[in-house]
Structure 1
Amino acid sequence: MQRGRIHSVESMGLVDGPGIRTVLFFQGCILRCKYCHNPDTWQVEAGREMSVSEIIKMLKRYQPYYGDTGGVTCSGGEPLLQIEFLTELFKACKEANISTCLDTAGYGYGDYEELLKYTDLVIFDIKHYLQQDYNALTDGDFSVPTKFLEAVQKSATPLWIRHVVVPNLTDSQSHIKSLGAYIKTIANVEKVELLPYHILGVEKYSVMGKHYPLKDTLPMCKEKTKQLQNMILDIVSMEPRKD
C-alpha cells in the first residue's frame, strides 16, 4: 500500500472546495513562486508519513460533517509530486463515498488520466498564462501545467480557477483582461477566483534563513482585488460573487 508525506491537516476547511472539507496539505513542491507563503512545504522528504488506510480512517471520523457537498481536498505543496499515492487515496475515498478535490498548480508527472477517474473537482492555480512570465514568476516549465490542464479538459473534470493578484506584478487591468481571455479557452470552468497577495508567510523565510523575493511588496488592496474580480467574471461571462 502506498504511503505519502503530509505536511499538515486542516479538519474543517471552508474555502478549499464546496462545503466543509478536510484539507490535506501534501509535502513537496519544486516550483519557487516569488510569492510562496509556504516554503516549509518545499522539501519532499519532510513531513509526516501516512498510509492511505490511516487517512481514510481519519476522514471517516469527519465524514458526518461533509453533508452533500463536502469531502476531502488535497493541496500542498504540490500533490501531483506524489501522484501514485494521491491516486490510491482518491480511489479509496470514492469507495468510501467521500468527495475528492485536487488543489494544484499542475506541476507534477505521472498518470493524470488514472488520477482524474477518481477526482470530482480540480482547483487549478494559474500562475501565469505566458511562458516567459510563468518561468520568471515560478522558475518552472510552462509546458508541465499545460499538459496537466489538457488532461483535465479531456477528462471533463469540473474546474475552479484561482490566480494570485500581486501589486505591480499581476494586478494590471491589461493582465487581468488577457488572463480572462486565456481562461475563456479552457473547458469545464465553473468558477474563477482572484486571490489578493498577502505577507503572512514572510516570517517563515526569516526563520528558515531564506531570502524572500518580494520583501518590499505590500499586501494587495482587497478593494482593487474585488474590482478586478468583477472585471474577469465579466470577461468569462460568470456572475459576480454575492459578497
Structure 2
Amino acid sequence: MDVAAGLRHALAATESGLVFQWGTGMASRAKRANQGKTLPLFLTAKEPCEVTGLEDVKVKRVAASSYHSVSLTDEGHLYVWGSNKHGQLVSKEIFLVVPKKIETQFFSHDKIGAVWSGWTHLVAQTETGKVFTWGRADYGQLGRHAVVPDGQEACIASEQCLELLCNIPISVPCLNGASQIACGSEHNLAVVGGQCFSWGWNEHGMCGDGTEANVHVPKPIKALGYAKQILIGCGAGHSMALCQTPR
C-alpha cells in the first residue's frame, strides 16, 4: 500500500496493486488540452476512483505533483499521466489522460526502485542506485547540466539550455547510491555517503546554505556536517532533517 498527496489531488495504491485517484485539480488542464472530449472518471472524481489504464500491471508506489501523477510497478516500471507542460512525462502530448509507461531505455534499461515528484519535476532511483532527474529546470531543480549539440556543457539553468534535455531522464552521478531522497515543490534533498545534499529553488532558504540563491548542482549542507540523518523531508518552501549528532 502507498499514498501520495499532490497540490489538488491524491493517490492511493492498494495491496493488490490497484491505483485510486481523487480531487479535481487536474481536470481544468485536462479539459483545455482535450478540447471538451470526455475525460476518464478518475480525473474529475471527488472521491477515490480507480485509475484506468493500469489493469495489466501491479503498482506498489505512487507519487503526486501539482498537475501530474506517477506510479511505480512491482516490475520496476514507471507510468505517468496528467500535465506535461514541462516535459515531465517524457511525451510530446500536452496532457496524458491515461497512464503511459516511460520506456526503460531512458534509465539504461535498469529497473526503477523508487520515485519522487516535485510540482513539475521528477526524480527516480534505479535498483542499482543510479538517480535520474527530468522535468522543469529553471530553478536548478534537476541538479544537473545539459549537453548542448556541439558537445560543450552549459548549466541547465541558462535560457538556451532549458529545453535541451530537461524532458529526458538523465542520471546525476553525484547522487548515486543515495539512501534517502525528498522533493519539495521545486527543491530537493538527498542523503549520500552520510551527508545531506540540497539543490533547486532557494528563495526561502530551504536549501540550507545560508543564502536565497538557487542551487543548480547538489551541494552538501554544511550546517548539518556529518550528523546522521535519520529522516529528511521537504515542504513547498521549507526543509527539515531529523538527525542524530555524534557524541
Which structure shows the higher strand fraction? 2
TM-score by length of 1: 0.28
Higher RCO, 1 vs 2 (CA within 8 Å, ≥6 residues apart): 1
Structure with the larger helix share: 1
